[in-house]
Amino acid sequence: MAGAISQAAFCLAYAWTARRRAWPAAVGAGCLAFALATLALARVAAPLGVLALVVFATLAAAVRAMPPRRDESGVATTPPPWDLPARMVIATAFVIALTGSAGLLGPRLTGLLAPFPLYAAILTAFAHALDGAGAAASVLRGLLVGLVAFAAFFMVLAATLPSAGVAAAFTAALGVAFVLHGGALWVLHRW
C-alpha cells in the first residue's frame, strides 16, 4: 500500500519533467523520484490507519499537483508496427529483472519495489514519444486516480486477512477495489 506514494512521486516527476524534456529524461526523473520515495518509505513503519490516511492524502495531493492541461489537438497518432512488440519486450525484461533480484533485496524492499509503475512507465513513455507531454500526463493522471483502488485493495486485505481468512479477505478487498475502480472510471470520464 505504501508503494502508491512512490508511484505518485514517479507520476509527478515524470509529468513535470515531460513539459520541457523528451521521454528518456522524464522516465529518468520519474524513476529517481520513485527510488527516493521508496528508500524513505523503507525506513517507515506506521500503523495501518495512519498509513492509509497518508497514502490517500498523498494521492489526492498528487492529482492536484499534476501540471495543468495544455490545449492539444486531441488527435492521437497511429503507432508504428513495432510499438506493441517493443512494449512487450521491455515490460517482460523489467519483470524478470525485479523477480530475479527479489532474493537479494529482501521482502520489505521487494514489497516496496513491486508497485513500480512498470506498465504505466512504458505506456507513458510511448504516449510521450508519439503524442507529446500532454498525452503522457493524461496517462499518469489516470494512474493516480486508479491508485486509490490499488491502495484500498491492500488496506482492506491487511485489515481483514488476520481475522477473516484468505478467501473472505480477498473477496472483500476485490469488492472494494472494483467499486473504487468504477468510481475512478466515472471521474476520469467526467474529466
Is 23 contained in some domain?
yes
Q: 13-19 — which CB contacts under 8 Å span 24+ positions?
A: 14/121, 14/124, 14/136, 14/140, 15/66, 15/67, 15/133, 15/136, 15/137, 15/140, 15/141, 16/67, 18/128, 18/133, 18/136, 18/137, 19/67, 19/133
In a domain, residue 189? The reply is no
Asked whether residue 74 is assigned to any structural domain, the reply reads no
Instruction: Please name which of 29, 62, 66, 32 lies closest in space to residue 151, comparing C-alpha atoms.
Output: 62
Number of domains in the chain: 1
Exposure string for 47-70, b = 16+ CB within 10 A, e = fewer = eeeebbebbbebbeebbeebbeee
Residue 169 lies in a domain: no
pLDDT of residue 85: 83
What's the confidence (pLDDT) of residue 65?
97
Domain that holds residue 44: 3-65+83-145
Residue 46 lies in a domain: yes
Eight-state DSSP code of residue 19: T
> Closest Cα to residue 147, out of 68, 88, 61, 69?
61
What pLDDT sits at residue 76?
A: 64
DSSP secondary-structure letter at 2?
A: T
DSSP 145-178: HHHHHHHHHHHHHHHHHHHH-HHHHHHHHHHHHH
Would 11 be classed as within a structural domain?
A: yes
pLDDT at res. 75: 60
pLDDT at 60: 95
In a domain, 183, yes or no: no
pLDDT by residue, tens only, the chain of 191 residues: 888 999 999 999 999 999 999 999 999 999 999 999 998 988 888 899 999 999 999 999 999 999 988 755 556 677 778 777 877 887 788 778 877 887 888 877 777 677 788 888 888 998 999 889 999 999 999 899 989 999 999 999 999 999 999 999 999 999 999 999 898 888 777 76
Residues constituting the chain:
191
Predicted confidence at residue 62, as pLDDT, reads 97
- 165 domain-assigned: no
Instruction: Name the grid cell of 48.
Output: 495501518
